[in-house]
Amino acid sequence: MHCEILGVKFDNVTMDEALARALSFLDGASPGGAVRARLVMTPNAEIVMRCRRDAEAHGAVCAADLALPDGVGVVIASRILGRPLRERMAGIDFAEALLPALAARGHRLFLLGGAPGVAEEAARRAAARHAGLAVCGTRDGYFTRDGDAVAAVRAAGADVVFVCLGAPKQELWMRAHAAATGARLLVGLGGTLDVWAGRVRRAPALWTRLGLEWLYRLLCQPRRLWRMLKLPKFLWAAWRARGEEKRVKNKQ
């Protein structure tokens, strides 16, 4: 089941359904037996706004095999538009929930992104949390040639890549290079490795439950203000789209 929000299609799934879909991507072969790289993306309000003015970013986000609503803004917009998403699903929560299954099934995970040292530290801590997790490689996200990162993933023999390059760089990279990496599942996860490596603190659970994770992030990283100013614009755009949809319906 899909839910379209300002031109971006989201999968209206629960966390359990999202995990099951991701794992089925790892099992599945395409017709003809070839294995196709599948993409999971986690767009938030800021990316949806970017997609409205950037056709390349929009094309990349539309290439997702599974698109999960990261951020309370997307969920509020879905309610404004009268087609509510069932769950807000932060990319980092989805990734964390996926780790035990990757460990149990012995899939090989590559962590790509963040400043030098971040992916290594994130890998070390993730492996300590999940016994048996096979992190087959890491690489920072400040490479100058895309081909170097692709070659690193390929050489590591990764099944799964967590791509943490920020938006829309990670979506563009995934769309352009997924097939060449040899991996079967690539997941775009923004600043997840910074949190796993202990460089950035996540909002306490209560803030998240109240839908205020964005405010916590703003207080910890005030430089995000200009990015967050897009949220009211996004909600206003959803409101206008709802009016437009109603007008079209009434005419029919």
Half-sphere exposure of 11 (CA within 13 A, CB side): 23
CB of 30 to ligand UDP, least distance (A): 29
In the bound state with ligand UDP, the residue whose beta carbon lies nearer, of 83 and 125, is: 125
Q: Quick one: tokens of 132?
A: 């048996």
114 binds ligand UDP, rule: CB under 6 A: yes
71 binds ligand UDP, rule: CB under 6 A: no
DSSP string, 139-161: E-S--S-HHHHHHHHHHHT-SEE
11 binds ligand UDP, rule: CB under 6 A: no
| Secondary structure letter of residue 177 according to DSSP | H
Whole-number Cα distances in Å, 62 to 58, 83, 166, 196, 202: 6, 19, 17, 28, 28
In this chain, which stretch among 11-19, 129-137, 176-184, 191-199 interacts with ligand UDP, using CB under 6 A?
191-199
Burial readout 153-164 (b: 16 or more C-beta within 10 A, e: otherwise): bbebebbbbbbb
45 binds ligand UDP, rule: CB under 6 A: no
In the bound state with ligand UDP, the residue whose beta carbon lies nearer, of 156 and 167, is: 167
In the bound state with ligand UDP, the residue whose beta carbon lies nearer, of 137 and 191, is: 191
In this chain, which stretch among 8-16, 145-153, 185-193, 242-250 interacts with ligand UDP, using CB under 6 A?
185-193
113 binds ligand UDP, rule: CB under 6 A: yes
In the bound state with ligand UDP, the residue whose beta carbon lies nearer, of 29 and 115, is: 115
As a whole number of angstroms, the distance between CA 209 and CA 178 comes to: 34
By rule CB under 6 A, what count of residues binds ligand UDP? 14
166 binds ligand UDP, rule: CB under 6 A: yes
- Out of 26, 77, 165, 183, which residue is the one contacting ligand UDP (CB under 6 A)? 165
As a whole number of angstroms, the distance between CA 11 and CA 67 comes to: 5
213 binds ligand UDP, rule: CB under 6 A: no
In the bound state with ligand UDP, the residue whose beta carbon lies nearer, of 125 and 242, is: 125
190 binds ligand UDP, rule: CB under 6 A: yes
H helices present in the chain, as ranges: 15-27, 45-53, 55-62, 72-80, 91-105, 118-129, 146-156, 169-181, 192-196, 205-209, 213-220, 225-228, 230-251
167 binds ligand UDP, rule: CB under 6 A: yes
Measured at CB, which residue is nearest to ligand UDP? 141
115 binds ligand UDP, rule: CB under 6 A: yes
Burial readout 85-121 (b: 16 or more C-beta within 10 A, e: otherwise): bbebbbbbbbbbebbeebbeeebbbbbbbbeeebbbb
168 binds ligand UDP, rule: CB under 6 A: no
Half-sphere exposure of 97 (CA within 13 A, CB side): 16
Q: Which residues bind ligand UDP (CB under 6 A)?
A: 113-115, 141-142, 164-167, 169, 190-191, 193-194
